[in-house]
Amino acid sequence: MAGSEREIAFIKGDGVGPEIVDNSKRIVDAAVEKIGAGRIKWIEALAGSEAEKKFGNRLPDESIEIIKRCGVAIKGPIETPVGKGFTSINVRLRLMFDLYANIRPVKWFPGIASPITNPEKIDLVVFRENTDDLYRGIEWKYDSAEAGTVRDFLNANLGTDIENDSGIGIKVMSKAKTERVTRMALNYAIKHKRRSITVMHKGNIMKYTEGAFREWAYNIAKTEFRSSIITEEEVAAGGSNKGKILFNDRIADNMFQQIITRPGEYDMILAPNLNGDYVSDAAGALIGNIGVLGGANIGDTYAIFEAVHGTVPKYAGQNIANPMGILSACCLMLEHIGMEKAALMIKDAVSATLKDRIATKDIARFMGSVPVGTDEFSDAVIDRLSKV
């Protein structure tokens, strides 16, 4: 890697996006330089409100081309209006680049106040299917002609009794999409030596979507990964899970209470799109602050890395926001491109910074320390890169 240059696209995004992305880039540059792993050449792609101002389009073709060329991008949060307006740019990017797995590692940082008594037990990875389910956006407003057509068709032909004032949304789950994300999750579990994978579903109610997700996931695990996994039933019947990944499942509502009451028992959660969205924020809350979490959106060809949190508009442009979420995403990006050492160095430097009670407002208020700004926190992380 020494001396080589790697092009990475970056999108600053909206709200606090520009300040957290800029700070994370300079931390990444400093770490990459320190380990002598070459250099990252950052290429900016506009999306969100800046792109709207410049191109009259929140996701211009120029930006899509840049992401295609680089293959890998870092993305700041982008706003999406609720209940009206344009569709989510985040969701469009995931679908457009077929980023079918959303991977969110959730691990507690010492020093961050958590609502549970043993946050150090949490070491979870949420693996969320990213392109299917209700996120396909197949829906019609209650008073639209389309909703009327669908209601009439279903009521006339398929024995339903849908009220005339009902909005319609279609939940779709594909066998092939479930299988490919399950394969990726199992390969990830093998590579990262994870202990278990729990399929989270609401298959007791939604039998042919979420129930099917569960069934297809088990089929892949049992047929393609037979020598690497063992199911809960097999363990109950006396099988040994030594050296094997425990493959089990939980109904979605139970999954929520399980990660709160028995956080140390869960290791990886494989979930369809909507469940995965909910559970990853809930898992984030267990470690005290979703502002510190990063995620990877990965497909077979492209990868886009982002913080779990949104645009936090109330802190925009004020040097208050915590950059740790996007920085965690940058670490996942560095691991993805083979610069694991730089990622490790950054994680250690962040821990050392928090250990010295240096933190942005969201964390400092629970630590009882004086908050520093986004820039100052990032300076402190860079200072500690050489010391870890």
Do the beta carbons of residue 323 and residue 90 sit within 8 Å?
Answer: no
245 vs 292, beta carbon nearer ligand NAP = 292
Q: Is 135 a catalytic residue?
A: yes
What's the closest the beta carbon of residue 378 comes to ligand NAP, in angstroms?
Answer: 12
d(CA 208, CA 173): 8
210 vs 362, beta carbon nearer ligand NAP = 362
Longest dimension (CA), the chain: 71
d(CA 197, CA 248): 6
Q: Which of 100, 135, 188, 315 is catalytic?
A: 135
What's the closest the beta carbon of residue 243 comes to ligand NAP, in angstroms?
Answer: 37
d(CA 219, CA 249): 13
Report the first-to-last Cα separation within the chain, whole angstroms: 22
Q: Which of 75, 177, 202, 244 is catalytic?
A: 202
Tokens of 227: 């020598």
What's the closest the beta carbon of residue 310 comes to ligand NAP, in angstroms?
Answer: 2
136 vs 361, beta carbon nearer ligand NAP = 361
Q: Is 208 a catalytic residue?
A: no
83 vs 238, beta carbon nearer ligand NAP = 83
Find residue 139's DSSP bridge partners. 169
User: Which string of x and - marks every residue 295-334 that binds ligand NAP (by CB under 6 A)?
Assistant: -----------x--xxxx--x-----xx--x---------
By the rule CB under 6 A, 131 interacts with ligand NAP: no
127 vs 266, beta carbon nearer ligand NAP = 127
Do the beta carbons of residue 315 and residue 296 sit within 8 Å?
Answer: no
Residues 16-35 that bind ligand NAP (CB under 6 A): 16
Residues 60-99 that bind ligand NAP (CB under 6 A): 77-80, 90
Q: CA 116, 117, 118, 120 torsion: positive or negative? A: positive
Q: Is 253 a catalytic residue?
A: yes
Q: Is 362 a catalytic residue?
A: no
How many residues of this chain bind ligand NAP (CB under 6 A)? Answer: 17
Q: Which residue is nearest to ligand NAP (CB)?
A: 310
77 vs 288, beta carbon nearer ligand NAP = 77
Tokens of 210: 């979420």
At residue 190, the 3 state secondary structure works out as: helix
Tokens of 344: 């490790």
Give the burial class of 127: count Cβ atoms within 10 A of its Cβ; 0-12 exposed, 13-18 middle, 19 or more buried: buried
Do the beta carbons of residue 201 and residue 171 sit within 8 Å?
Answer: no
Q: Which of 143, 152, 253, 300 is catalytic?
A: 253
Give the burial class of 210: count Cβ atoms within 10 A of its Cβ; 0-12 exposed, 13-18 middle, 19 or more buried: buried
d(CA 233, CA 262): 20
Tokens of 24: 């994370």
What's the closest the beta carbon of residue 75 comes to ligand NAP, in angstroms?
Answer: 7
Residues 241-270 that bind ligand NAP (CB under 6 A): none
Residues 355-374 that bind ligand NAP (CB under 6 A): 362
What's the closest the beta carbon of residue 114 comes to ligand NAP, in angstroms?
Answer: 15
276 vs 310, beta carbon nearer ligand NAP = 310
Q: Which of 277, 315, 347, 362 is catalytic?
A: 277
d(CA 310, CA 16): 9
Do the beta carbons of residue 106 and residue 294 sit within 8 Å?
Answer: no
Residues noted as catalytic: 135, 202, 253, 277
Residue ranges binding ligand NAP (CB under 6 A): 16, 77-80, 90, 291, 306, 309-312, 315, 321-322, 325, 362
